[in-house]
Amino acid sequence: MMNLMFLLYFPEDKTEYIPAFATMAIFVLAAVAVWRFIIKVSKKEEEKTKELEAKLKEQENKKSL
């Protein structure tokens, strides 16, 4: 347990946190951008699927008549 305590490092100069915060902010922004992109693509795919289902239902109705 004592060996793990030596792995923790809390700098007295708090400016050393700036690069870590900047890196984290970049990754968080990138994750949000990818998330929004996936949602946008998913909505487009959903619309295409609904259109395809409507076309298939039309064809099925024409065949049954």
Q: Do residues 22 and 16 make contact, with C-beta atoms less than 8 angstroms apart?
A: no
Phi/psi region, residue 18 (left: phi>0; alpha: psi -120 to 50; beta: rest), is: alpha
What is the C-alpha separation between 35 and 46, in angstroms, rounded?
16
Model confidence band, residue 20 (pLDDT cutoffs 50, 70, 90): very high
Single pTM value for the model? 0.67
Both tokens of 25, joined, read 């902010």
Mean local confidence (pLDDT), 11-33:
95
SS3 of residue 10 by DSSP? coil
Model confidence band, residue 3 (pLDDT cutoffs 50, 70, 90): low
To the nearest whole number, what is the mean pLDDT of the chain? Answer: 90
